[in-house]
Amino acid sequence: MHRPYSPTIRRRRLGFELRRLREEHGYTLDEAAKRSDVPRATIGKIETAESRRTRARDLDALADLYDLDEESRAGLHQLSRESKEKGWWSRYKDVFSEHTLPDFEAEASAIRTYEAQVIPGLFQTPDYAEEIFKGGRATEDPSISRQVEARLARQQILSRVNAPHMTAVIDEAVLLRLVGNRQVMIEQLEHLEHLAIRHNIDIQVLPLSSGAHLGMAGAFTILDFPEPRDPTIVYVSTAADGLYLEQESDIKRYNMAFSNVQGIALSSTASMRSIASVKASMEGEQE
């Protein structure tokens, strides 16, 4: 699978570079605006990745101000072009919000997630995902099939060339919670077993017997990127929308939380035995 660009990550990288160049030259935003004849607000929005469209003439003016060579100038224009590209997730505007997780997943090199309620979305089978979107409701919602389709498309990230390494700590309660019927759960647990043998996926079960831990506030996902200029992001799902955290203090707190839940979780091998045991129990109850 071709590795897609993340428009948001490219905008952030462009902003990082221009802010670094401005600060290296000792210019304030007002001074840079005056010397380049690019509005202060425009420079500010580019540097904070708020601007979705950056004019080529503004980039050239800033490149002139910072005395960039042709290669560096071309690099800025390349980032600007890539920031305008649309990812595959743009086809699912009816499903994903404006700032969507697949946008960041597209360039992530490592994904660490803790789940307390459901199987991680990147691991869900179609039937399990459908039941999650139904939320226990008996009525049929025509939009559910569209949501399932989008979720399955999102999962392709784990099969691409240079796929990110994903580490998932899954609370034992997730395995025991009957989503749909036993057949749905058996197939989902079997799918976890198949995923666990992939070189880029680690699955650990957090036993109920572990007691209190630092992940009890709820599920979260930490995304790391290969490019040092792209800072780590924490994604926290809420009932209304996703929350993205980038402050160093937040990153530190969630890194600590993940280290804690991973440290008290079963090893990968023991986790597979736990999943197999739950699956066998459900198969026995089905007979």
pLDDT of residue 1: 42
Please list the pLDDT of the chain residue by residue as tens digits (287 residues).
Answer: 445 667 788 888 888 889 889 999 999 999 999 999 999 999 998 988 888 788 999 999 999 999 998 988 888 888 888 777 776 666 666 666 655 788 788 889 999 999 999 999 999 999 999 999 988 776 667 788 888 999 999 999 999 888 999 999 999 999 999 998 999 999 999 999 999 999 999 999 999 999 999 999 999 999 999 888 788 999 998 766 678 888 899 999 999 999 999 999 999 999 999 999 999 999 887 66
On the CB side of 81, CA atoms within 13 Å amount to: 6
Assess contact for 92 and 150: CB atoms under 8 A.
Answer: yes
Q: Tell me how far CA of residue 49 lies from CA of 14, 80, 96, 164, in angstroms.
A: 8, 11, 20, 24
> What's the CA gap between 80 and 56, in Å, rounded?
8
Assess contact for 111 and 119: CB atoms under 8 A.
Answer: no
> What's the CA gap between 130 and 125, in Å, rounded?
9
> What's the CA gap between 108 and 225, in Å, rounded?
5
pTM attached to this predicted model: 0.81
Assess contact for 126 and 148: CB atoms under 8 A.
Answer: yes
Taking alpha carbons only, the member of 284, 273, 287 closest to residue 175 is: 273
pLDDT of residue 214: 96
> What's the CA gap between 266 and 208, in Å, rounded?
11
Q: Tell me how far CA of residue 111 lies from CA of 21, 82, 193, 277, in angstroms.
A: 30, 23, 19, 27
> What's the CA gap between 163 and 200, in Å, rounded?
7
Amino acid at 36: S
Taking alpha carbons only, the member of 152, 193, 197 closest to residue 170 is: 193
> What's the CA gap between 136 and 163, in Å, rounded?
33
